[in-house]
Structure 1
Amino acid sequence: MSQPNKNTNQSMATLKRLLRYLVPRRTRLVVVLIAVMLSTLFAILGPKVMGDTVTEVFEGAYAKLTGTGEGIDFVQVGKMLLLLAGLYVFSSLFTFIQQYLMASVAQNTVYDLRADIFKKLEKLPLNYYDSHSHGDTLSRVINDIDTIGNTLQQSITQFIRSMVMLVGIAIMMLTISPLLTLIAVVSIPVSLFVIKPFLKKSQSHFTNQQHSLGKLNGHIEEMYTNHQIIKAFGQEAYAQETFDDMNEELYHAGRRAQFISGIINPVMTFIGNLSYVLISIVGGLLVTQRAISIGDIQAFITYTKQFNQPINQTANIANIIQATIAAARRVFNLLDEEEEVPETASGDVSPAEGAVTFNHVAFGYDDEWLMEDLNIDVKPGQTVAIVGPTGAGKTTLINLLMRFYEVNAGSIEVDGKNILSMSRHDLRAQFGMVLQDTWLFNGSIKDNIAYGKRDASETEVIEAAKSARADQFIRTLPDGYDTMLNQDASNISQGQKQLLTIARAILADPSIMILDEATSSVDTRTEVFIQEAMNKMMEGRTSFVIAHRLSTIKNADKILVMNQGNVVEQGTHDELMEQQGFYADLYNSQFAEEQAG
């Protein structure tokens, strides 16, 4: 199959899929269609009535001058003008109805699209977010869907109106003069033949335009999110240069798309003007031969102008539809992304006792194994520390336990139950997490702490904050627990952010705790307070602690030493030190660094 045919088939498939979103609104669409047809019908009848009025005036005046009649019948002319006014009033009324209903159809369709995308984003695995720019994803959710919504709002009714107007005007023109109608209709296939190559060419450029827009949005999002790092390393010029390059790429893609599609309208106008000139010449000759009345030729010329208008509108709509199809294809590509492994079970699960077992687990990315034959046995209530150099697989192990990633082989069990037999919601409800990278949302401190337990009372929130040693600094803020955090919580320090996330985990009261470098963003004195709170919180719970400072996990019940994705050593601190192996080397080198510091 040739590339143009392939693109055409893809475009048609995308358009059909988009139209399926309109099916639930088919009743309103039928009403819209009727309203458009009536509005257009009344508008089409107008020039004919106007032409008849002109004929009445002309013939009355001519009869008066020649003495063959009594002159202009103003009563009849008045009735015809009232009829004309009524036609235009009803046309405007039905136009209002179709615009009102179509706005509802368009917004509901866009609502469904956004809802589907949001559901999809919840089902996508972590590796999608790891391999796709956040800005590009946001561009699909916002910009591309807005493009679709604007097209549904405006272009569909315009397209229907144009089609009805073409048919209606053609009928009215045939009733006046088949010869002149033939001249006018010939311009349609000529126009379609001329613009066809421009339509094909513009599709690829509109696709490039939407792709470039997604890349630019991704860059802007990254630069805005990390503006402090950019300034700290003096990379403003590089960020600006990258932005200029992407902006230039978007400019050229947009210019090509708009230039090629912009040729369509003037070409259509040129062909329409040629038709208009030819009709004026032939029509004038017919009037001189009294083969057609002066009013009818005036009406026909008006119809000729209107006849070209829907053709030009259709050409412009075709331009818009090209951009819409490109946007819809990006949206549907996101909706077609591979999801997480489907749920195999759901329902209420009793609180976990905390036994966790890895049985011959294997995992890798893109056919490159990171873990092979991993075996871990954790008893309920044990504190398990996970240590190792950067890239050893510590966080990956936690991601597998939480089912953010699925194992390639082997199994993971919680209380003897394979986690694949549990729904992700039920599994994750057993865990509380405090990560190195804090996440707080735009809202009050109280709401952020209560995020893990939405029905928590104010007393419970305060107790959790006290346990996390956050109560003291919260009360020093102007509004205390009602203090509003901005979008990236930059109005409090990094250490304070971490204290709030710890308080959130304490309030959730999970069966199993996961602490991933939870104290890495706080000072040494604060770390001591947090460690005390953590020790209290971990009492009676199974806890997994990923730690960089090995001195903080000496009292762990079990230490898993990881390297290159596998557990190379495990035991207590004393046992591992006696082995004088990998862990002992890590601990001694870190201790030496701390002593030197």
Structure 2
Amino acid sequence: MLARFFKSKTFSENIIVQLWWFFTLEKRRYVIGILSLSLVAVINLLPPMIMGKIVDQISSRQLAGQALFSQLALLLLAAFAMYGLRYVWRMYILGTSYRLGQIMRQRLFEQFTKMSPSFYQQHRTGDLMAHATNDINALTRLAGGGVMSAVDASITALVTLLTMFFSISWQMTLIAIIPLPFMAFATNRLAKKMHESFKHANEAFSELNNSVQESVSGIKVTKSFGYQEQELASFQKINQRTFEKNMTAMSYDVLFDPLVLLFVGATYVLTLLVGSIMVGANQVTIGSLVTFITYLDMLVWPLMAVGFLFNMTQRGKVSYERIQKLLGQESDVVDSSTPLAEIANGRLTYDIETFSYDHQETLSDIHFSLEKGQTLGLVGQTGSGKTSLIKLLLREHDLEAGAIRLGQHNIKDYSLNDLRSLIGYVPQDQFLFAMSILDNIRFANPELSQKQVEEVTELTQVYEDIMAMPDGFATLVGEKGVSLSGGQKQRIAMSRAMILDPEVLILDDSLSAVDAKTEHAIIENLKTKRSGKTTIITAHRLSAVVHADLILVMQDGKIIERGRHEDLLAQDGWYAQTYAAQQLDLKGVGDVF
């Protein structure tokens, strides 16, 4: 029955064959573990055999004290041997299985780091976390407990049946195993149901994980809108759906033990019926019958192990399919097959005919150049395409119609690592890690000194804010910088980018949360500190770009105005009108105070 199971499509089609690379990688440890497990199965045959002999000697009144002592000593020796061997196989099989979890987590993390933003728009954070936890745990259990169950059940069943067949009675053995083929058929049918139910249960767990992650991340918004009851009701629905999917999977899972025990019971009935007849006919002794029934007890574990194995195999198969689906996806932004060996800052040239994002045209007819060391200002209404221009330079997306050149080369000719190492980027939505301010600022290079950190925070006008905190630079900012104000987060994120003194610095609306005075001080520091290096600033407050060598006004993905501050004021277009309105607003605020 076990042989049929191992050859079945359900067991071998995907999971064992696809995990063979790991078993080959760790073959030495698995071989040691399997040999130890095999020896346990063989030694485990001794106690029933010894018990049968003692029963026969008692029934024939031939049991001597010395013989009993030697038999008991042999039992004790077998017990110590099995103790040591069980420790070995647990370390070498169960322990080795955690190596698979480590490898798969590493592969997933590497996949996550190299994928483009479009990947994260298709997969929510909670779903990715479910793959990295629940699915990998299922694989670990398969590589550990699954292998143990398969090997132990196979060897125990084989050596036990052979011992029963050759040393006791081949007739009783053949009759005892009659129910087993029927059990194999029934469990195989049940396994097909389990596969689908485990797949739905894992998908439901991913949805639940997403819900928890989003609810916790957005708890402030939920409370500010007084939406707790609705959020709780929504979570209860998802939680109930997950519970129902797991209960469906469990309903199939729990059928295995009763099903196996039903057929095990049939083997006992047949054995007692045939055994009593053979004892009466003096074909077997009472001791042999006791030994035979004890061996039947030993067969219960292999038969029960089939249920455990089906469970772990189906869960592992579903989980591996989900993980492989993620690992099989390719980023839509990849390195050139022959990237340039070196990269250097130079003239930046945009020649974009069209760029579409998510099947919608986002940019069109974008043509301009920026010399090395100049500052570019990008302004315009929300959704005008400013951030899209920046993300194309960072190669978060790639152009199909047009090119962006740095120096004499298309940016696609450089490796992604080289290109991005040249650029310091401060995004609109600053992300701070749940660590100290010091570690956040020197995130890209932990070897940077405290003095360097202090100098850059003075440039970004956040030094005084940090020193006013009880723990100064050692202050823990909390998850996503929850303990800081919006302006503090912006300036710390800016410090993190500027401390590396990048050849190209991009500030994507990174001064929106600071006051006009602080903004002016930061801009002046940038002009002084970054002489000879390229800076790109997007802003809604035009005072942030008045010093720029080139200002582009974006609207609906196109450039509608371009020039220096004075040139754009003279054109009396969108820029001039917006600048005048903002100056009036600032004057009005000043009049109030």
SS at 2:505's partner residue? strand
Kept in 2: contact 1:51–1:295 (CA 8 A): yes
Distance 2:434 2:358 in 1: 37
- Greater mean alpha carbon deviation, residues 182-191 or residues 561-570: 561-570
Q: Which residue of 1 aligns with 2:5?
A: none
- Greater mean alpha carbon deviation, residues 391-400 or residues 515-524: 515-524
Unpaired runs of at least 5, structure 2: 1-7
Q: Judging changes above 3 Å, is the alpha-carbon distance between structure 1 residues 189 and 522 closer, same or farther for their aligned structure 2 residues?
A: same
Distance 1:346 1:522 in 2: 40
The correspondence for 1:107, drawn from 88, 98, 117, is 98
Establish whether residue 173 from structure 1 lines up as the match of residue 174 from structure 2: no
Establish whether residue 452 from structure 1 lines up as the match of residue 444 from structure 2: yes
Q: Which residue of 2 aligns with 1:48?
A: 49
Quote the offset at 1:365 in angstroms. Answer: 2.7
RMSD of aligned Cα (Å): 2.2
User: What amino acid does structure 2 have at the position aligned with 1:381?
Assistant: G
For residues 75-114 of structure 1, the aligned pairs below 5 Å read 75-114=66-105
Establish whether residue 155 from structure 1 lines up as the match of residue 151 from structure 2: no
Distance 2:94 2:201 in 1: 27
Kept in 1: contact 2:343–2:414 (CA 8 A): no
Q: Which residue of 1 aligns with 2:116?
A: 125
Kept in 1: contact 2:119–2:331 (CA 8 A): no
Distance 1:511 1:574 in 2: 27
In the TM superposition, what whole-angstrom CA distance separates every residue of 1:145-200 from its partner, at most 9, and x where no partner exists? 12221332222112210010110111011021112111222222110111222110
Establish whether residue 58 from structure 1 lines up as the match of residue 79 from structure 2: no
Distance 2:586 2:268 in 1: 89
Establish whether residue 28 from structure 1 lines up as the match of residue 29 from structure 2: yes
Q: Which residue of 1 aligns with 2:244?
A: 252
Q: Which residue of 1 aligns with 2:127?
A: 136
Kept in 2: contact 1:56–1:77 (CA 8 A): no
Quote the offset at 1:99 in angstroms. Answer: 0.3
In the TM superposition, what whole-angstrom CA distance separates every residue of 1:256-291 from its partner, at most 9, and x where no partner exists? 011012112111111111221221122112112211
User: What amino acid does structure 2 have at the position aligned with 1:28?
Assistant: R
User: What amino acid does structure 2 have at the position aligned with 1:169?
Assistant: T
Quote the offset at 1:413 in angstroms. Answer: 0.8
Q: Could you tell me the TM-score, scaled by structure 2's length?
A: 0.93
Q: Judging changes above 3 Å, is the alpha-carbon distance between structure 1 residues 202 and 177 closer, same or farther for their aligned structure 2 residues?
A: same
Quote the offset at 1:406 in angstroms. Answer: 1.2
Q: Judging changes above 3 Å, is the alpha-carbon distance between structure 1 residues 11 and 589 closer, same or farther for their aligned structure 2 residues?
A: farther
Establish whether residue 563 from structure 1 lines up as the match of residue 564 from structure 2: no
Q: Judging changes above 3 Å, is the alpha-carbon distance between structure 1 residues 392 and 8 closer, same or farther for their aligned structure 2 residues?
A: farther
User: What amino acid does structure 2 have at the position aligned with 1:484?
Assistant: L
Distance 2:335 2:423 in 1: 18
User: What amino acid does structure 2 have at the position aligned with 1:49?
Assistant: I
Q: Which residue of 2 aligns with 1:283?
A: 275
Q: Which residue of 2 aligns with 1:267?
A: 259
Distance 2:268 2:11 in 1: 37
Establish whether residue 352 from structure 1 lines up as the match of residue 353 from structure 2: no
Distance 1:259 1:525 in 2: 67
For residues 216-231 of structure 1, the aligned pairs below 5 Å read 216-231=208-223
- Greater mean alpha carbon deviation, residues 116-125 or residues 515-524: 515-524
Quote the offset at 1:207 in angstroms. Answer: 0.5
SS at 2:480's partner residue? coil
Kept in 1: contact 2:498–2:505 (CA 8 A): no
Quote the offset at 1:10 in angstroms. Answer: 11
Q: Judging changes above 3 Å, is the alpha-carbon distance between structure 1 residues 332 and 92 closer, same or farther for their aligned structure 2 residues?
A: same
Q: Which residue of 2 aligns with 1:38?
A: 39
Q: Judging changes above 3 Å, is the alpha-carbon distance between structure 1 residues 347 and 92 closer, same or farther for their aligned structure 2 residues?
A: farther
Q: Which residue of 2 aligns with 1:206?
A: 198
Distance 1:371 1:186 in 2: 73
Kept in 2: contact 1:357–1:414 (CA 8 A): yes
Q: Judging changes above 3 Å, is the alpha-carbon distance between structure 1 residues 478 and 253 closer, same or farther for their aligned structure 2 residues?
A: same
The correspondence for 1:382, drawn from 374, 386, 396, is 374
Kept in 1: contact 2:353–2:401 (CA 8 A): yes
Distance 2:496 2:48 in 1: 72
Kept in 2: contact 1:560–1:571 (CA 8 A): yes
Q: Judging changes above 3 Å, is the alpha-carbon distance between structure 1 residues 266 and 302 closer, same or farther for their aligned structure 2 residues?
A: same
Kept in 1: contact 2:354–2:363 (CA 8 A): yes
Q: Judging changes above 3 Å, is the alpha-carbon distance between structure 1 residues 248 and 19 closer, same or farther for their aligned structure 2 residues?
A: farther
SS at 2:177's partner residue? helix
Kept in 2: contact 1:39–1:93 (CA 8 A): no
**Paired residues, what number?**
580
User: What amino acid does structure 2 have at the position aligned with 1:31?
Assistant: I
Kept in 2: contact 1:22–1:105 (CA 8 A): no
Establish whether residue 409 from structure 1 lines up as the match of residue 401 from structure 2: yes
SS at 2:499's partner residue? helix
- Greater mean alpha carbon deviation, residues 122-131 or residues 344-353: 344-353
Q: Judging changes above 3 Å, is the alpha-carbon distance between structure 1 residues 509 and 36 closer, same or farther for their aligned structure 2 residues?
A: same
Q: Judging changes above 3 Å, is the alpha-carbon distance between structure 1 residues 245 and 92 closer, same or farther for their aligned structure 2 residues?
A: same
Q: Judging changes above 3 Å, is the alpha-carbon distance between structure 1 residues 452 and 91 closer, same or farther for their aligned structure 2 residues?
A: closer
Kept in 1: contact 2:511–2:519 (CA 8 A): yes
The percentage of aligned residue pairs carrying the same residue is 27
Q: Which residue of 1 aligns with 2:412?
A: 420
For residues 492-571 of structure 1, the aligned pairs below 5 Å read 492-571=484-563
Q: Judging changes above 3 Å, is the alpha-carbon distance between structure 1 residues 125 and 9 closer, same or farther for their aligned structure 2 residues?
A: farther
Kept in 1: contact 2:520–2:544 (CA 8 A): no
User: What amino acid does structure 2 have at the position aligned with 1:109?
Assistant: L
User: What amino acid does structure 2 have at the position aligned with 1:157?
Assistant: M
Unpaired runs of at least 5, structure 1: 1-6, 61-70
User: What amino acid does structure 1 have at the position aligned with 2:73?
Assistant: L
User: What amino acid does structure 2 have at the position aligned with 1:349?
Assistant: E
Q: Judging changes above 3 Å, is the alpha-carbon distance between structure 1 residues 471 and 36 closer, same or farther for their aligned structure 2 residues?
A: same
User: What amino acid does structure 2 have at the position aligned with 1:226?
Assistant: G
SS at 1:22's partner residue? helix
SS at 2:448's partner residue? coil
Q: Which residue of 1 aligns with 2:63?
A: 72
User: What amino acid does structure 1 have at the position aligned with 2:500?
Assistant: A
User: What amino acid does structure 2 have at the position aligned with 1:563?
Assistant: Q
In the TM superposition, what whole-angstrom CA distance separates every residue of 1:368-403 from its partner, at most 9, and x where no partner exists? 332234322111222111122222221111111011
Q: Judging changes above 3 Å, is the alpha-carbon distance between structure 1 residues 125 and 84 closer, same or farther for their aligned structure 2 residues?
A: same
Q: Which residue of 1 aligns with 2:461?
A: 469
User: What amino acid does structure 2 have at the position aligned with 1:329?
Assistant: E
In the TM superposition, what whole-angstrom CA distance separates every residue of 1:57-96 from its partner, at most 9, and x where no partner exists? 2222xxxxxxxxxx42221222122222222321222111
SS at 1:375's partner residue? strand
SS at 1:477's partner residue? coil
Quote the offset at 1:340 in angstroms. Answer: 4.3
Q: Judging changes above 3 Å, is the alpha-carbon distance between structure 1 residues 263 and 74 closer, same or farther for their aligned structure 2 residues?
A: same
In the TM superposition, what whole-angstrom CA distance separates every residue of 1:293-317 from its partner, at most 9, and x where no partner exists? 1111001111112213211111122
Q: Which residue of 2 aligns with 1:197?
A: 189
Q: Could you tell me the TM-score, scaled by structure 1's length?
A: 0.92
Establish whether residue 187 from structure 1 lines up as the match of residue 179 from structure 2: yes
In the TM superposition, what whole-angstrom CA distance separates every residue of 1:216-236 from its partner, at most 9, and x where no partner exists? 111111111111111111121
Kept in 1: contact 2:10–2:191 (CA 8 A): no
SS at 1:381's partner residue? coil
Q: Which residue of 2 aligns with 1:68?
A: none
